[in-house]
Structure 1
Amino acid sequence: MQLELFQRNGVKKLENKIHIYELDCYKNATEEQKKRMRVRKDRYFDLEGLPSEEVRKLLEDFVWERGKKLAPSSLASEILYFNNIRNFLIEKNIKILRYEDENKIILQLKSWMMEKGYALTSKKYRSVYEIVATETPGIIKHMKKILRYSQKDGGCLEQERDVWELDKFEFPLRSNPIKNVKTINFKGISQITIRKEVKTVIFMHLKYMAIGSIMAEVVATKRFCRYLELRYPKIISLLDLTRDIMESYLIYLQTEAKERKNYRSDLYGLRRVVEDVGNHYDRQDIKNLFISTDFPSTPRYLFKFYSDETIKKLNENIFQMDEQIARALILHQLLGTRISDTLTLKTDCLSIRENRYFIRIEQVKSITFEKAISDEIAQLIIKSIDYTEEHYGKTKYIFVKKDDPSKPFQYSMLQNRVMQMIRKNDIRDENGELLNFGTHTFRHCYGKKLTEMHIDDWMIARLLGHKTLQSVHHYRKIGNKIMADETRAVREKIDMILMDVVKEWDGYEI
């Protein structure tokens, strides 16, 4: 390839090299970020010697596009993967990169990696959970990103692709802001016709169902399709299913499948997909594939609670965490909300009526409701809002991501921070086991306290944001059996400790 000069964004450069400092992410970075980067001029995305102009143009556009979306440090970490892929493409003389050929190209890449002595899997120690996870190597992940990017000019609609990028859909999605779900992948469905049928139905569901429910449907359908591939390879369409096949699958779930303890919700998701495929293709007989007795009985739901001593130890350490994270966790306990509702509290959630503070809670999974709160809780919320405004300006949410203030705290971040704190301080439960933290347990504790205060079921349901009384009896049953009256003074003391910390927070340094 001859080296030529060309113009991009008013800057002349050699077209076979792209340096980090030329990309938008670096130009828009703060001086502090640039100092931390220590960008070396001898590290760059190398486009020299690629087998075809088509491949070179694709990779060049891919890098410039990534430069608009990623942080400079994230992009810098991709240079090694990119340049190894360049070497692979040159040595294997691959002149066309198409998403449709992904399986073939990935196999070729793995073969090349073996020749070069690269591992086909990587191990990553996750200190938070003290496990060693097996992961796909970064070079393979990066190759898949390039292949997915190659679809951009393919001319097909997003719903026709095998991997949907959710931000490409123009209609609003019912996503959970604290969960970072970006794609839906259908490639685990090997039967081409079934994959097409499922995509048709999921696209319809996408317009009115929550993303979490849709992901559950896709997981359930993939599991079923793997079973079909193994036991009924001649079945290529969901319209070919029979009652005998469904009964065989039910037996398999009861006797052989080990992925989950209970497949009740899994089967409901699969039924929605299968029956809507029947509705779409006007095959009403498909509704006869499932009967009510197919679904396991609802598993006995045992609410988990923290003991008073555990809550006390946990909160003593929470107070030492990042200031805004600590505030979020304290509010989570005092409000009794789901964690998704705590982290998506909006900066205009407070109001005053008749000299009392009220908070508006827009539940991600359910209804929006208001409830009265104490002046102390209101002041904690106001402090949280002031902190965010001081650091990030006007925002939609109270608790926001540092690198993207338009989004709220992500649950994975919060969970990891708390688990790190638990391991660092060796916080253990009553049995001496390292504490297995779950934010929803705080909600259970809140509900249990309400039952001990002899509040009627409808009021408890309203305070918890429930539409019905269905779950209230769980709180009342456990509250009466486990939490005796003599422990109430201890719990009240813990609440007082929380409020004392809130009052003194102005002098609290992180």
Structure 2
Amino acid sequence: MNASSKRKIISQSEISKKIAVMNEEMQGFWANNSWDIRKCPHPSAIELSKNPALRNRWVRFERVKNLWLRTELKYFYFYHLNNGIWNAKTVWIRKGTVINKMLDFLDLKYPSITSITEVPIEKAMTEYRTYLTKRGVRITTTNYKITANQEKTPVKANSYYVTNLKQFMEFYENFYFDGEEWDKDVWDRRNLPLPDDKVNPTQYEYTINFKGFRNTYFKQLVKRYCKLRLNVDSFSYVSDIAQRLKEFFNFLDMKFKQVQRVHQLTRVEIEAYLSELNMMGIKPSTITGRISILEGLFSTLLRLEWDDVPSKILIYSEDYPKIPRAKPRFIDEFVLEQLNSHLDKLPEYIATMTMIVQECGMRISELCTLKKGCLLEDKDGDFFLKYYQWKMKKEHIVPISKEVALLIKVREDKVSEEFPDSEYLFPRKDGSPLKQETFRGELNKLAYEQNIVDKSGEIYRFHAHAFRHTVGTRMINNGMPQHIVQKFLGHESPEMTSRYAHIFDETLKADTLISLMKL
């Protein structure tokens, strides 16, 4: 049995037909076996070719003599360029420095295959790492990231040489897959017919991964359940459901191998799992979330009368830990003063976002998806900000200061010139909205580099949602009625706003002194 038949790949004759279609698609410049960036019609290539310092002018596919493999290689780069996934800089510069090694390796190792899918990915990656190592090429690289403790730490990762081949092979595992997206063990949201409100474009979460299940039966059960949940829940939440259920069923497989079906479950296994959760040292709210996901699965199986259902109630209300009332995680003024004194050291767009969120207190997803035209002005010359609340699935409008309104106007003028086709105020290079992680990462990098500390002298760790808590708490402390704060923040209920009713120590001290003076 060949490798492709094990991995649900279409037949060799179907692959041959697809390769013929690839050649038909790649006409003109793309049909060449050497791609000269100075002749490439792609807009990003036209712009990049003007750079006099450009060193990698050519991508030479003729290095691979195998015509089948050469077509797959060319189409791999053609597809990513012409579908807006990569730009010319990615192909000619980032990958251009490593592609020749990959081409030479493929030509040497696989001169006779009719598709790259004939080779298992694990086998090819092992052979390629050995090939690179023998030639003195590094197969890993060291990146640095700021940890949750605000410490700079090295992180080992595959080098571009290695990731280039891995991406190429995984592309064709997907491209030649024999079935629907739902049949795969990794669902890519970009290939699923999901409505816009199920996908938050500011998150990097593109996939739901079902790989790693120790029991195939439970994997298929969870896949069916997750497909159902996508009708009502967000993609990111369903991704979390898949991960948590994988952890539970793998726990079962390791500790209670005899349990092969849901109807075989008893309180013995559930109580063992609850003990496992409690010994992990995670927060009560996290434990509650995991129990809730499990109970959600069981109740759905029973309610919809699936073939394999629990034989009895397995989870009770007393299984849920008590969750302490959470205090608002506002940012101390001591920290905000330091942050604002260093705004000039942030990228311009991040500094603007920081000023907006300090005043408006929106969620990070709402900040990242602000659109051109979000600024409104009334007949009195006062300004308002209009934005979409992803959590509530509705538009929201709040008043803003003229100073912040001016920042937004300046930003909109700049973006309209640089990204005329993007609808967003803070777009990425491809026109999509900025990712949440970019905003958080820039703030925490600033805190590390400029030594922004809390009152105990520890480097402060910024969480984007803390700005929302700060605005709500500040409004309450300034005497704003709670129903006004509720409307400003766009909360559905008074209970959501009441958590911000936390009195600053300074406010409490001042009010107490005033009261004592009146005695």
User: Is TM-score (shorter-chain normalized) higher than 0.5?
Assistant: yes
- The answer as to whether partners of 1:66 and 1:75 remain within 8 angstroms in 2 is no
Which one-letter code corresponds to 2:405 in the other structure?
Answer: A
Structure 2 residue aligned with 1:248: 272
Structure 2 residue aligned with 1:60: 74
- The answer as to whether partners of 2:63 and 2:104 remain within 8 angstroms in 1 is no
Match of 1:126 among 145, 151, 166: 145
Distance 1:75 1:143 in 2: 13
- The answer as to whether partners of 1:243 and 1:289 remain within 8 angstroms in 2 is yes
CA drift at 1:30: 0.9
Q: How many residue pairs end up in the alignment? A: 474
Match of 2:410 among 355, 358, 383: 383
Structure 1 residue aligned with 2:10: none
1:162 and 2:185 are equivalent in the alignment: yes
Alignment of 1:116-195 (within 5 A): 122-126=141-145, 129-150=151-172, 151-173=174-196, 174-195=198-219
CA drift at 1:81: 5.4
Give the TM-score normalised by structure 1.
Answer: 0.80
Alignment of 1:460-499 (within 5 A): 460-477=485-502, 479-481=503-505, 483-484=507-508
1:454 and 2:479 are equivalent in the alignment: yes
Structure 2 residue aligned with 1:314: 339
> Structure 1 residues 243 and 302, CA, compared in 2 at 3 Å: closer, same or farther?
same
Q: In terms of mean alpha carbon deviation, does 144-153 or 305-314 score higher?
A: 144-153
CA drift at 1:121: 5.8
Match of 2:452 among 404, 423, 427: 427
Match of 2:424 among 397, 411, 419: 397
- The answer as to whether partners of 2:375 and 2:385 remain within 8 angstroms in 1 is yes
Structure 1 residue aligned with 2:391: 365
> Structure 1 residues 383 and 92, CA, compared in 2 at 3 Å: closer, same or farther?
closer
1:332 and 2:357 are equivalent in the alignment: yes
- The answer as to whether partners of 1:217 and 1:269 remain within 8 angstroms in 2 is yes
Distance 1:109 1:275 in 2: 48
Secondary structure at the residue paired with 1:230? helix
CA drift at 1:25: 4.8
Secondary structure at the residue paired with 2:212? coil
Match of 2:240 among 185, 193, 216: 216
Structure 2 residue aligned with 1:495: none
Distance 1:343 1:381 in 2: 13
> Structure 1 residues 158 and 179, CA, compared in 2 at 3 Å: closer, same or farther?
same
CA drift at 1:212: 2.3
Which one-letter code corresponds to 2:415 in the other structure?
Answer: T
- The answer as to whether partners of 1:275 and 1:286 remain within 8 angstroms in 2 is no
Give the TM-score normalised by structure 2.
Answer: 0.78
Which one-letter code corresponds to 1:164 in the other structure?
Answer: W
> Structure 1 residues 46 and 394, CA, compared in 2 at 3 Å: closer, same or farther?
closer
- The answer as to whether partners of 1:37 and 1:72 remain within 8 angstroms in 2 is no
- The answer as to whether partners of 1:21 and 1:27 remain within 8 angstroms in 2 is no
Q: Percent identity?
A: 20
Q: In terms of mean alpha carbon deviation, does 326-335 or 119-128 score higher?
A: 119-128
Distance 1:386 1:89 in 2: 48
> Structure 1 residues 250 and 36, CA, compared in 2 at 3 Å: closer, same or farther?
farther
Q: In terms of mean alpha carbon deviation, does 142-151 or 244-253 score higher?
A: 142-151
The two structures, once aligned, show a CA RMSD in angstroms of 3.5
Q: In terms of mean alpha carbon deviation, does 118-127 or 464-473 score higher?
A: 118-127
- The answer as to whether partners of 1:162 and 1:187 remain within 8 angstroms in 2 is yes
For each residue in 1:17-70, what CA deviation from the matched residue of structure 2 results, as whole angstroms up to 9, or x when unmatched? 5566676657644146644542244x64565255xx654443332232233331
Distance 1:252 1:130 in 2: 32
- The answer as to whether partners of 1:341 and 1:362 remain within 8 angstroms in 2 is yes
Distance 1:329 1:322 in 2: 11
Which one-letter code corresponds to 2:278 in the other structure?
Answer: Q
Secondary structure at the residue paired with 1:337? coil
Distance 2:488 2:509 in 1: 22
Match of 1:78 among 81, 90, 95: 95
- The answer as to whether partners of 2:263 and 2:309 remain within 8 angstroms in 1 is no
1:267 and 2:283 are equivalent in the alignment: no
Structure 1 residue aligned with 2:437: 412
Which one-letter code corresponds to 1:470 in the other structure?
Answer: E
Distance 1:266 1:24 in 2: 51
Q: Which runs of 5+ in 1 are unaligned?
A: 1-5, 488-510
Distance 1:239 1:26 in 2: 58
Q: Which runs of 5+ in 2 are unaligned?
A: 1-22, 512-519
Structure 1 residue aligned with 2:226: 202
CA drift at 1:333: 0.5
For each residue in 1:276-324, what CA deviation from the matched residue of structure 2 results, as whole angstroms up to 9, or x when unmatched? 4553725453672322222222244233333223211110111443333
Alignment of 1:13-24 (within 5 A): 15=33
